[in-house]
Amino acid sequence: MSSVNLGVEIGGIRLKNPIMPASGTFGNGEEFAGIQGMDLSALGALVTKGTTLEPRAGNPQPRIRETASGMINFIGLANPGVKAFIEEKLPFMAQFETPIIVNVSGFTLNEYVRMAELLDQVPSVAGLEINISCPNVEGGRIPFGSDAQIAANVIRAVRRATKLPLIVKLTPNVTDIVPIAKAVVDVGANAISMINTVRAAFIDRGKIIQGGLSGPAIKPIALCLINQVSQAVNVPIIGMGGISTLQDIFDFFQVGASAVAIGTANFKNPLVMMALIDQLEKYCLEHGLANIDQVKARIKGGKG
């Protein structure tokens, strides 16, 4: 038994360490579980891929393009729909002693509410990550998360539909993220996760394809926005955006993240989360640190 306690609490969910996959980059864990050296019970949480009320085939190919220091994805939330997810995917994830956070995406307010009601009845679900970056089809296809009032309407309605901890995932594609973060916390968000991908485009054989940029290219944007939000709200933040090293994690702690999610880096090295958990524990042992608060105190003292 290690003398280091890497545990953190995020909006009422106890995690054994602060490292988890970012939604959409880890499937629902099944493919990763088959990789030698991968142990899903070692992760802080299992975060599902984007789940919607109805099944979605997603967008036509190409859906992914590598860029300088990152990638653009245009997946379009391909998934089997929440009912099939609960029946066919969740039982596999529930066999590990790791909290399951279901990423909920919707295109109308009612879709978010229906999904929250359904997932509220499922005992293996530890919490919901509400992805408000999706376009609001009843509101001119403007993403829910780009307006404080609309974002608050969604989270208020979801809050009434479930007692599960709510982690609200913010989009960076806004002029000022602070009022949006404050608005969702005011109506009951228990935690914030950020950032989702940054709006971007690539050209495929003369066609312009719009998607979301992720990877090391967006890390400075994530640090800047998390720094702003962490000073404005009083709930924990799960930070993400280009993390692939222990130093990246420390940088996210420095700006106020309480936990981190690893996305694009999983495509380069599917064992990167395992390596980072190991490195974090070794770092604590080497420096005589007993817990994450002590790690943060050391980093903030300039000794990261």
Residue 18 interacting with ligand FMN (CB under 6 A): no
The residue with tokens 């890390």 is 219
Strand ranges across the sheet with 259-262: 19-21, 259-262, 237-239, 191-194, 166-169, 125-131, 100-105, 46-47
Closest-approach residue to ligand FMN (CB): 24
Is 124 strand, coil or helix? coil
Distance CA 132, CA 125 (A): 19
CB of 252 to ligand FMN, least distance (A): 11
Please answer whether residues 224 and 252 qualify as being in contact, where contact means their C-beta atoms are separated by less than 8 angstroms.
no
Site string for ligand FMN, 108-137 (x = CB under 6 A): -----------------------x------
Largest CA distance in the chain: 58
Q: Which is nearer to ligand FMN, 17 or 193 (CB)?
A: 193
Residue 239 interacting with ligand FMN (CB under 6 A): no
Residue 190 interacting with ligand FMN (CB under 6 A): no
Distance CA 122, CA 195 (A): 27
Please answer whether residues 211 and 73 qualify as being in contact, where contact means their C-beta atoms are separated by less than 8 angstroms.
yes
Residue 52 interacting with ligand FMN (CB under 6 A): no
Residue 101 interacting with ligand FMN (CB under 6 A): no
- Count of residues that interact with ligand FMN, criterion CB under 6 A: 25
Interacting residue with ligand FMN among 264, 280, 292, 295 (CB under 6 A): 264
Q: Segment contacting ligand FMN (CB under 6 A): 12-20, 142-150, 211-219, 277-285? A: 211-219
CB of 14 to ligand FMN, least distance (A): 22
Instruction: Classify residue 288 by its DSSP letter.
Output: T
Catalytic residue (one of 20, 115, 134, 255): 134
Q: Phi and psi for 79 in degrees, rounded to 5?
A: -170, 160
Q: Can the peptide bond before residue 270 be classed as cis, meaning omega within 30 degrees of 0?
A: no
Interacting residue with ligand FMN among 146, 197, 230, 258 (CB under 6 A): 197
Q: Which residues contact 87 (CB under 8 A, 6 or more apart)?
A: none
Interacting residue with ligand FMN among 127, 145, 241, 256 (CB under 6 A): 241
* Angle, helix 272-287 to helix 246-254, in steps of 10 degrees: 70
Sign of CA dihedral 223, 224, 227, 229: negative
Q: Segment contacting ligand FMN (CB under 6 A): 88-96, 153-161, 171-179, 212-220? A: 212-220
CB of 128 to ligand FMN, least distance (A): 11
Please answer whether residues 28 and 49 qualify as being in contact, where contact means their C-beta atoms are separated by less than 8 angstroms.
yes
Please answer whether residues 161 and 48 qualify as being in contact, where contact means their C-beta atoms are separated by less than 8 angstroms.
no
Is 264 strand, coil or helix? coil
Residue 50 interacting with ligand FMN (CB under 6 A): yes
H or E stretch including 180? helix 178-186
Q: Is 134 assigned a catalytic role? A: yes
CB of 266 to ligand FMN, least distance (A): 8
Q: Segment contacting ligand FMN (CB under 6 A): 141-149, 181-189, 224-232, 260-268? A: 260-268
Residue 75 interacting with ligand FMN (CB under 6 A): yes
CB of 73 to ligand FMN, least distance (A): 4
Would you name the residues annotated as active-site residues?
A: 134
Q: Which residues bind ligand FMN (CB under 6 A)?
A: 22-25, 49-50, 73, 75, 77, 103, 131, 169, 196-197, 214-215, 218, 240-243, 262-265
